[in-house]
Structure 1
């Protein structure tokens, strides 16, 4: 993509992970996390979020991939300067892990492009110093 195209099709992704103590059962190797994501269209062209792809990795290095349409049952349409915020969750067998991935978007002008979701850490209480 040229620099002009990259500013036309640009999505910013912010992530806020949280450990859900009340839903986790550490003695059963069940660690539950939520993550709130804000997706913002910082490009020039309106676009619809079509699909998601996640790679979830636990502390043992085991990876699980998740693919699906939209996010939380929706395929939000993002006008330039506008955003969409949602909360979802993940369960790990270890108290620490990470997630990263991407969204596929379809711009109103017919161009399909990808927005990377930067890696973030999932960590239970007292697991990271």
Structure 2
């Protein structure tokens, strides 16, 4: 698992390879990732937008921007959390993802919280430590 706290928001991500949706012979590899967003601060916030930068093993970058996550813009009061699962395909057997969420307080202040970089590793490639 990967975890990072910024601006009183803790983001924890657990990626896992989806063998049943992948086809290595066709250079198609699929991962799911489970995200937990926790408000460890004292101010309620709403997740407004997401940003992802996905880099495959060849260095090809895909950027994804959008409203909310999985069709929702959850409000997190102090001490609350929100969890969801999503996924991404790659044309290589490994990659890396990193990103941020844009949050907004009830008073209208917007700020970004970092999503920790996490590795996408399949069993079809030896793990290499960087």
Give the TM-score taking structure 1 as reference length.
Answer: 0.91
1:126: Cα distance to partner?
A: 5.0
Aligned: 1:13 with 2:32: no
Query: What residue number does 1:83 align with?
Result: 81
Using the TM superposition, name which of 57-66 and 109-118 deviates more. Answer: 109-118
Query: What residue number does 1:4 align with?
Result: none
Query: What residue number does 1:33 align with?
Result: 31
Distance 1:67 1:126 in 2: 29
Calculate the aligned-residue CA RMSD, in Å.
1.2
1:7-37 deviation per Cα after TM superposition (whole angstroms, max 9, x unaligned): 9x42110000000000000011100000000
1:53-64, aligned counterparts within 5 Å? Answer: 53-64=51-62
- SS of the equivalent of 1:44 reads coil
Distance 2:84 2:25 in 1: 30
Query: What residue number does 1:43 align with?
Result: 41
Query: What residue number does 2:107 align with?
Result: 109
Q: 8 Å contact 1:45–1:109 — kept in the other structure? A: no
Quick one: structure 1 residues 117 and 105, their matched pair in 2 at CA, closer, same or farther if it must change by over 3 Å? Answer: same
Aligned: 1:94 with 2:120: no
Q: Return structure 1 stretches of 4+ with deviation > 6 angstroms.
A: none
Q: 8 Å contact 2:93–2:124 — kept in the other structure? A: no
- Structure 1: gaps (5+ residues): 1-6
- Structure 2: gaps (5+ residues): 1-5
